[in-house]
Amino acid sequence: MNPQEMFLKQLEQAVPYVTVEPEYLEILRHPKEVLELSLPIRLDGGGVKVFKAWRSHHNNALGPYKGGVRYHAAVDRDEVVALSSWMTIKCAIAGLPYGGGKGGVAVDIRELSRNELENMSRAYALGLSRFTGTNYDIPAPDVYTNPQIMSWFLDTYEKVKGYSESSAYTGKPPVLGGSLGRADATGKGGIFVLREGLVKLGLLGRKDLKVGIQGYGNAGTRAHRFVEQDLGLTVVAVSDSGAAIHNPKGLAFQEIGQYKNDTRSLKGFKNGEELFPDLIFGLDMDILILAALGGAIDGQNASEVKASAILELANGPITPDGERVLADKGVTILPDVLSNAGGVIVSCFEWIQGRSGDFWTEDYVFQKLDERLSHSFQEIFSIAEGKKISIRQAAYVKAVGRIVDAMRFRGIWP
C-alpha cells in the first residue's frame, strides 16, 4: 500500500462517524494541484544531472497551503501527494489557519557537494516561486532539509520577487526571521502529546516505563532528550538505518546522542548490544516512538511489537494492516497527525512573527505549543471515548468536520 492509499484508507475509516456530503469527501480524495519539476544541475566534476521534484497542494479551504520539503532518494509523486493530504488533516486538527501542502526532491544528498546542494535547492525554489508565498503556500523543512536550505529557498524567492518576504518560508535560522524553538518543535510537541496520553492511560509519573526510539535523526534524538528531561523516563533502545542499540539499564542521551552527532551513525556504539535495525520492534519496552520514515510497521511485523503504547513522530509509520494487528493486541497509538504537529504549529508561530515583525522567547513558544497540543488532544480523546473509536479515527473526525464546514461556506467553485 503506497502512502496515498494509506491516507485514503484512514479517511474512509473516519467517514461513518462524521457527517460529510459525498461531493466534499470526493474533493478531499484528490490534491487540488501538483507541480512537477525537472531540475538540471551542473555537477562540480562536469556534466549535468536532472533531479525530479514536486510540490503538492491538497486543500486550502482553511487557509494557505503549509507543509515541508523533503530530500530523499525514494521521494515520488504519490508520496508527496499523500504527505500534503496528511498536512491538511494535521493543520485542521491543530486549529491552524492553513491547508495542506508538501514538496520533495528525489535525491540522495550524500552524493552532492555543498555547492551542488545549494544549486539544486535554489533551482527548486526558483521553480516554486510562482507556486508559493506568504498568503498562498509556505514551505518548511522536512526530511534532510534544514535552516540552511530554507535560507537558500528564501533568498532565491526574494531575489525573484524583488522584495523581502521573510514569512514566505518557515524553519529559517533566527537571524533571518526564524522562530526560537522551531528545531525542537516536533520532538517537544510529541512529548507533550505522549504526556497527555500517559495521563489518560494512568501511567504518568511511573519512572519504571521503558522507551524505544525507532529513527534516531533530528526528531528521534530530540525526543530522547525530552523523554529524559521532561518525563524522567528511561530509553532502553534506539535505532537508525544502520543499527539498533539496546541496553536494558538505559541509554543516556548525553552519551549516545553525542556519539550519533559525532559519527553520524549508531554503528559501533559500545555501551549496549548492537542489533539489526528492525529488531528494535521486538525488544522489551512500554513505549515505542516511531521517528523514521513511513510504513515501518505493517501487517507482517506488527505482531513483534511488545510496547503497549506507540507515539508516531514520523509520517505514516504504521500501515492500516499493521494498525489492525496492533489494535487487536490492545496497543494505544498516538497518531502522526496529532503527535508530530509540533513542527507545523511552531512554523505557524514563525509565520505570525514574520508577518507582525514580533519575536517571541523560546519559553513563550513552548508554552503556546503545549496549550495548543493539549487542547487538541483533549478534544480528540473525548471524541474517541464518545464514539468508541480509535484516536486516529477521532483525529480525522475532528479534522474532516472542520475542513468540510469551511468548504460548505465557500461552496464548490473552481
**What radius of gyration do the chain's Cα atoms show?**
21
Q: Global pTM? A: 0.95
Burial string for 329-362 (b: 16+ CB within 10 Å, else e) reads eebbbbbbbbbbbbbbbbbbbbbebbeeeeebee
Q: In CATH, what class is 31-176?
A: alpha beta
Could you give the residue range(s) of every CATH 3.40.50.720 domain in the chain?
A: 185-339
pLDDT of residue 2 exceeding 90, the answer is: no
Tens digit of each residue's pLDDT (9 = 90 or more) over 332-380: 999 999 999 999 999 999 999 999 999 999 999 999 999 999 999 999 9
C-alpha to C-alpha distance for 68 and 300, rounded to whole angstroms: 30
Query: Contact 288/302 with Cβ under 8 angstroms?
Result: no
Q: Kindly report the backbone phi and psi dihedral angles of residue 150, in degrees, each rounded to the nearest multiple of 5, phi listed first.
A: -60, -35
For residue 183, what are the contacts with CB-CB under 8 A and spacing of at least 6? Answer: 147, 218, 222
Tens digit of each residue's pLDDT (9 = 90 or more) over 208-243: 999 999 999 999 999 999 999 999 999 999 999 999
User: Which architecture, in CATH terms, is 185-339?
Assistant: 3-Layer(aba) Sandwich (3.40)
Catalytic residue among 9, 49, 90, 102: 102
Is there a catalytic annotation at residue 102?
yes
Amino acid of residue 128: L
C-alpha to C-alpha distance for 382 and 372, rounded to whole angstroms: 16
Could you give the residue range(s) of every CATH 3.40.50.10860 domain in the chain?
A: 31-176
C-alpha cell at 180: 526560537
Tens digit of each residue's pLDDT (9 = 90 or more) over 46-73: 999 999 999 999 999 999 999 999 999 9
